[in-house]
Amino acid sequence: MSELRIEHLQRQGVNAARLAVAPGSCSAIFGASGSGKTLLLRAIADLDEARGEVWLDGQPRSGMSGPAWRRLVSYLAAESHWWAPTVREHAHDWSLADLETLGLQPDVLDWEVQRLSSGERQRLALARALAHAPAALLLDEPTANLDQRNTARVEQLVADWRARTGGCVLWVSHDPAQRDRVASATHEIIGGQLGGGHDA
Amino acid sequence: MTPSLILLSPFDLSLAAALVLLLAALSWRLQLDIGQRVLVAAARSTVQLLLLGLVLKALFHTVDPWFVALLATIMLAVAGYEVMARQKHRLRGFWGYGTGALSMFLSSFSISVMALLVILQPDPWFTPQYSIPLLGMLLGNTMTGIAVSLDNLTRQTVEKRQQIEARLALGQTAAEAIGDIRRDALRSGLIPIVNSMTTAGIVSLPGMMTGQILAGSPPMEAAKYQLLILFLIAAGTGLGSMTAVLIGSNRLFDERSRLRRDRLRS
């Protein structure tokens, strides 16, 4: 069970006064391109410098090291990046069940990353993040390059994961229908300003 | 002076220089765009080596530790500048110069002093006839290794920035996220000295040994000196490149293990 809470998070281009995502729930974020959605997620993940504080289950981010925080609060970039030749080398504890939910065969782990399609890469990036056992997920347009069927699979896996672990999710999506499907609250970001959420 | 030393006249050197001019002319004719740099480098080496000859000639008569220290400092300062100039994306601010200069100081200086005090033992230990050529040889070679390592480190960091951040986002530490790049950078800096040790005496006759033999030294003595120098260079290059890569990669991350691309020039 993990609750993510943000207070007065500020960096160049982003100002998020207050945001809370309850354990096991998902909040959606949307906004015009260039409004600061990615910058906000990167600031929460502590990949970029920002003022303010973020809590996970009452534990302040400033009380732990950057890597320790990012192990718990996993940021999934819109475009996935891979550093080793095969898929398997990118995590220790791949979940075959997760791969199956995503419509991927177990032998995909032994494939070369270069041979993967962009859609396969995007789905595998989610499986890779979950294999590192985070407590919260920051998803940046995780279904941007996926067809309807694979989009549904990704949404299913995230929902399963929330139910199974009680982890919380911040989901950036440009698609209003998707936001209605996955999130219980929606926040708009305008010119870097994160507005108060309203229930979906 | 050894009786077998054949003195070179300015005319002899002009003949060799004519070959470089020929190369430059050829490059201009084939539009290879390297002729001008060859000529500038040749001119620089002419002025620098003749000056060094003059300075050493004066120095050998004085044996003043302050003179030696001054010359050594100038050599280090210039080598530090060269390392900085050879990097496409060098660190901003002091560390752009400091990383290379500090690494060269730690490796070349300490190894030269050790070689003078423990191995060669001239009296006094800083006798310029030994200390200056030794330091120069070490600086020249560690400079190349350090420059290659640092350039490799910073260039790959810029190119693979998103991969590094993907690893950080999964909770890896800075050392884990840049480990591959660090190893690669270090290896690339050490390849030249490893190659020259591997082929020394079979494919290539090292410059120093050639010079000594041409100047009339017994070949066996020249071989021993060459070995000494090769070992010192290998140790100095390895030590210097490791120091540079460690300092450099630490600068690339901050206290929260964030990648700081802004600390590198674009």
- CATH number of the domain that residue A190 is part of: 3.40.50.300
The residue whose two tokens read 């590198």 is: B264
In chain B, which residues have their Cβ closer than 8 Å to the Cβ of A93?
A: none
Is A180 within a domain?
yes
Measure the CA–CA gap between B163 and A125, rounded to whole angstroms: 12
Count A/B contacts: CB-CB distance under 8 Å.
61
Model ipTM?
A: 0.94
Is A119 within a domain?
no
Contact yes or no for B258 and A74 at CB 8 A? no
Q: How many domains does chain A have?
A: 1
Residue A179, Cβ neighbours under 10 Å: how many? 21
* Of A140, A96, A95, the residue nearest A122 (C-alpha): A140
Q: Which residues of A lie inside 8 Å of B (Cβ-Cβ)? A: 45-49, 65-68, 70-72, 74-77, 79-83, 91, 128-129, 132, 134
Which residue in chain B is spatially nearest to A90 when comparing CA positions?
A: B167
In chain B, which residues have their Cβ closer than 8 Å to the Cβ of A74?
A: 169-171
Contact yes or no for A67 and B160 at CB 8 A? no
* Of B124, B120, B122, B188, the residue nearest B152 (C-alpha): B188
Is A71 within a domain?
yes
Query: What residue numbers bound the domain in which A16 lies?
Result: 4-83+134-199
- Minimal CA separation from B151 to chain A, in Å: 20
- A104-133: b (≥16 Cβ within 10 Å) or e: beeebbebebeebeebbbbbbbbbbbbbbb
In chain A, which residues have their Cβ closer than 8 Å to the Cβ of B174?
A: 67
CB A147 within 8 A of CB A174: no
Alpha helices in B86-173 (DSSP H): 94-104, 110-114, 128-159, 161-169
- Minimal CA separation from B161 to chain A, in Å: 10
CB B219 within 8 A of CB B179: no
Q: Give the pLDDT of chain A (200 residues) as one tens digit per residue.
A: 689 999 999 998 899 888 999 999 999 999 998 899 999 999 999 999 999 999 999 999 999 999 999 999 999 999 999 999 999 999 999 999 999 999 999 999 999 999 999 999 999 999 999 999 999 999 999 999 899 999 999 999 999 999 999 999 999 999 999 999 999 999 999 999 987 666 54
- Band of residue B199 on the pLDDT scale cut at 50, 70, 90: confident
Write down the pLDDT at residue A198.
Answer: 60
- Minimal CA separation from B194 to chain A, in Å: 27
Contact yes or no for B167 and A83 at CB 8 A? yes
Contact yes or no for A49 and B254 at CB 8 A? yes
Contact yes or no for B170 and A128 at CB 8 A? yes
Q: Is residue B1 predicted with pLDDT exceeding 50? A: no
pTM, rounded to two decimals: 0.86
In chain A, which residues have their Cβ closer than 8 Å to the Cβ of B254?
A: 49
Q: Is residue B205 predicted with pLDDT exceeding 80? A: no
**Positive or negative torsion for Cα A105, A127, A171, A185:** positive
Is A152 within a domain?
yes
Measure the CA–CA gap between B114 and A25, rounded to whole angstroms: 65
Is A31 within a domain?
yes
Lowest mean pLDDT among A151-160, A191-200, B183-192, B227-236: A191-200
The amino acid that residue A97 corresponds to is A
